[in-house]
Structure 1
Amino acid sequence: MPFIDEARLDDDQLAQLDSRQTLRSLASAGAQVRHAIDLAGEAGLGRLMGGERPRSVLVAALGGSSVVANVLELLAEPGSPVPVQTRHNLPLPGWVGALDLVVAVSQSGRAEGPLALAAEASRRGASLLTVGAPDSPLADISARARGVHVDVPAGTSSRTTLWAMLTPVVLAAHALGMVDAGPLVFARVADRLDQQAGLFRPSSETFVNPAKTLACELAEGVPVVLGDGPLTGVAACRAAAMITRTARIPATWGELPDAASQVVACFDGPYTDAGLTSAAVSGPADIFADPYLDGAPAPKLRLLLLRDDGSERVDERARTLADAVAQTARDVGVRVSEHGTEAGHALERLAAHIALTDFAATYLALGLGMDPGLSPHVADLRDRTRG
């Protein structure tokens, strides 16, 4: 099992290991929202589709930017008359044409998938909204297509500039009558993110810092992140990606009710007390086993259950199912961490979950002695695949 040094998390020199200032970037999420509102206004979102509602919206995004598409689908799904779909790369669906809106998101403005999709959408005469770095290839495609481009200020990575990319896309959807999430909603989101950043600040000691506490809990096992519904499902997907990419610990995720059987089935396997004591898996447990002589014990599952208990409409069936999964986990020795949210707009509740798990994944990397912003193997992969 990985060893997280809790003392390192409370060390005044913690920032020295964070060479790309990931914690500082995450703490700027509220400021990102406010700045993005201004940039979106300057870009002229009202020009999209001539103010008319599109027939459909296709979001082109991948990697750390793909959560933008997930959030837009989440917000639009309950009542929007406009379908939202996601693509990561070519081909662009044959039905996309002049009546549709294509949204291409890339923090660097150079991701091949969104670039290719934006170029093809332009060729077909579709309306185009691009979000990315200024003076980038993506911005150039948008300019030539007479689309709307919203600048994303320079950041360490797409993982830490989520709100700079998400805000203009949702504001555009609001302007087109697809979702109810205008500037006033985002002002409250920014305040919620500021509140969370203060709670999770590096100077706050582990025993009063929920993000540091969660980081220590996640280090105890193989993380399984489970959302109790659509909103927390999006948060769970983001959390698993951050744990994997930032803390370099494999993590899986699911959303209830669909993932209930899939997750519970794992409780019979070799990563729980029930599985480890099964003769079919490992034989009788050796009570005299010495971890120093016989090796470290096998890893165990750690369940992180994200709950949307701040929603005005609580689904009692979903709550009962989440309770049952959590109790089943505890019955087989799986440790469970549960986190809910305060009441508010769906974006506010989502922001609270994302802030917690983003900070937790970063503290997990730092506690394990790793720089959260730099991965030598990712850099090596880029070198090997660079044309």
Structure 2
Amino acid sequence: MAPHIDDALLDDPDELLRKDSRQTLRALATAGAQVRESVTLAQEAGIDRFAQLDRPRSVLVAALGGSALVADVLELLAEPGSPVPVQARRNLPLPGWVGPLDLVVAVSLSGRAPGPLAIAAEAARRGASLLTVGADDSPLADVCRRARGVHIGVGRARTSSRTSLWSLLTPVLLGADAIGIVDTPAEGMTEVAERLDEAAETYRPTSESFVNPAKLLALQLAETVPMVLGDGPLSGVAAARAASMLARTARVPAPWGELPDAASQIVACFDGPYTAIGGRRPGTYDAGRIRLGDIDTSGWEPHHFAEPEGDLAEIPRGQSGQDIFADPFLDGPSMPQLGLLTLRDAPVEPPTSESAQSQALTDAVLETARDAGVRVMDVIAQPGRPLTRLAELVSTADFTATYLALGLGLDPSVSPHVADLNDRTR
């Protein structure tokens, strides 16, 4: 049975504010301001120093948890044309090849995350160049300054890495631009900030659910067992973020994938118990009929062997597969429906052969999903620079997960079980 979501609550700004104890929605709405503030902080900290240095042999990014997306985004943007390799690392050991010719980037909002802090310290010991992002009064900042690296603060009122993504990501991209591995100059960040401002306005708490895409998605996702699919590398990064936010913020597990590699694993789920097909298509159980000879019937009572009259018909394509005459008290609650949230990059203009193939595969997956009775939710980015398009998809996922948490009666920023885990591992 699907969890109950209070749709009336989503249209009550005062109640949303009351349940959102650490003002997650407000923090997400500051994303555009985070970009602008971080550009200023990075310039004041001397990010331009990297433009005066020789290009490093490689770049290693240490980030984890809510900050891990920083490494994913840098890898995504650098991969097409970077003259040097970019690699992500969560914790020690620092690869043996890292030395004075390399740049190590360590990101931690608090400046105290053990993995990035340990990697920064070891990189400094080996003489690597350092770029760190985090709280100014932190061990990470001290390590960087002793190594004569560049440390960039995250400004005030940044309490969660999940809602401070752009305070962490912007300085890293400016540093990567300075050494020539990505094209993300300070002036180009203006477009990103504006797109994030537009998203914050569209997804604001006072916007009613019938015109608020994030609230609509939250209502739809609450009725499903969700999966998230990106249609390519850029939207794949957004899909990973969406799955993480659904789990960490809304407490809803959601597997994710990226086309083309994940097509089979996503489509295979359409044969499972959460769709109209539910294992009852031809070639599985004889068009929906279970053969008693194929299963172990030892220990069954006589009434277990009673078969319905006539053959069970194959479920028509595109139907929910739910029995409208089912009694939830006698038959038990019905299974929730499988949901597919697709995050799609803006169409390539003019189209190329590669984009046409990608579009055809995406269309085929969505058609297959609808035929199987999967609830499809489709989000498509508007045109813009790659980072701008990614920002739009990430913002949609962030607001959606937060509204889903609030609608389910959960505080998006406080998890009792995470608190228990932290207490037990101190």
TM over 0.5: yes
1:288-325 deviation per Cα after TM superposition (whole angstroms, max 9, x unaligned): 43124433212232001111124446511111000000
Structure 2 unpaired stretches of 5+: 291-311, 313-321
CA distance in structure 1 between the partners assigned to 2:390 and 2:39 by the alignment: 18
- Equivalent residue number for residue 96 of structure 2: 94
> Given residue 3 of structure 1, which amino acid in structure 2 is its aligned partner?
H
CA distance in structure 1 between the partners assigned to 2:153 and 2:420 by the alignment: 29
- Equivalent residue number for residue 378 of structure 1: 418
1:156-184 deviation per Cα after TM superposition (whole angstroms, max 9, x unaligned): 31000000000000000111111111112
- 1:143-154 equivalent positions in 2, closer than 5 A: 143-153=145-155, 154=157
Shift of 1:46: 2.2
CA distance in structure 1 between the partners assigned to 2:76 and 2:350 by the alignment: 16
For the Cα contact (< 8 Å) 1:23–1:359, is it kept in 2? yes
- Equivalent residue number for residue 3 of structure 1: 4
Secondary structure (helix, strand or coil) at the match of 2:253 reads: coil
- Equivalent residue number for residue 267 of structure 2: 264
CA distance in structure 1 between the partners assigned to 2:212 and 2:280 by the alignment: 35
For the Cα contact (< 8 Å) 1:104–1:129, is it kept in 2? yes
Please tell me whether Structure 1 or Structure 2 has the larger radius of gyration of its CA atoms: 2
Structure 2 residue aligned with 1:345, among 385, 388, 400?
385
For the Cα contact (< 8 Å) 2:271–2:279, is it kept in 1? no
CA distance in structure 1 between the partners assigned to 2:112 and 2:36 by the alignment: 25
Say how many residue pairs are matched. 386
- Equivalent residue number for residue 128 of structure 1: 130
Shift of 1:47: 2.3
Secondary structure (helix, strand or coil) at the match of 1:66 reads: helix
Q: Residues 221 and 155 (structure 1 numbering): CA distance in 2 closer, same or farther, change over 3 Å?
A: same
Structure 1 residue aligned with 2:241, among 220, 231, 238?
238
For the Cα contact (< 8 Å) 2:346–2:389, is it kept in 1? no
For the Cα contact (< 8 Å) 1:311–1:346, is it kept in 2? no
For the Cα contact (< 8 Å) 2:245–2:398, is it kept in 1? yes
Are positions 1:217 and 2:220 aligned together? yes
1:63-101 deviation per Cα after TM superposition (whole angstroms, max 9, x unaligned): 110000000001001111011000101111111110000
- Equivalent residue number for residue 289 of structure 1: 326
Q: Which moved more, 1:273-282 or 1:70-79?
A: 273-282
Are positions 1:226 and 2:229 aligned together? yes
Secondary structure (helix, strand or coil) at the match of 1:105 reads: strand
> Given residue 35 of structure 1, which amino acid in structure 2 is its aligned partner?
E
Are positions 1:64 and 2:104 aligned together? no
- Equivalent residue number for residue 22 of structure 1: 24
Q: Residues 82 and 312 (structure 1 numbering): CA distance in 2 closer, same or farther, change over 3 Å?
A: farther
Shift of 1:50: 4.5
- Equivalent residue number for residue 37 of structure 1: 39
For the Cα contact (< 8 Å) 2:51–2:178, is it kept in 1? no
Using the size of structure 1 for normalisation, the TM-score is 0.96
- Equivalent residue number for residue 115 of structure 2: 113
Shift of 1:193: 0.4
Cα RMSD, aligned residues only: 1.6
Secondary structure (helix, strand or coil) at the match of 2:188 reads: helix
For the Cα contact (< 8 Å) 1:312–1:343, is it kept in 2? no
Structure 2 residue aligned with 1:181, among 184, 206, 211?
184
Structure 1 unpaired stretches of 5+: none
Are positions 1:303 and 2:340 aligned together? yes
Q: Residues 49 and 31 (structure 1 numbering): CA distance in 2 closer, same or farther, change over 3 Å?
A: closer
Using the size of structure 2 for normalisation, the TM-score is 0.88
Secondary structure (helix, strand or coil) at the match of 1:41 reads: helix
CA distance in structure 2 between the partners assigned to 1:25 and 1:312 by the alignment: 34
For the Cα contact (< 8 Å) 1:49–1:127, is it kept in 2? no
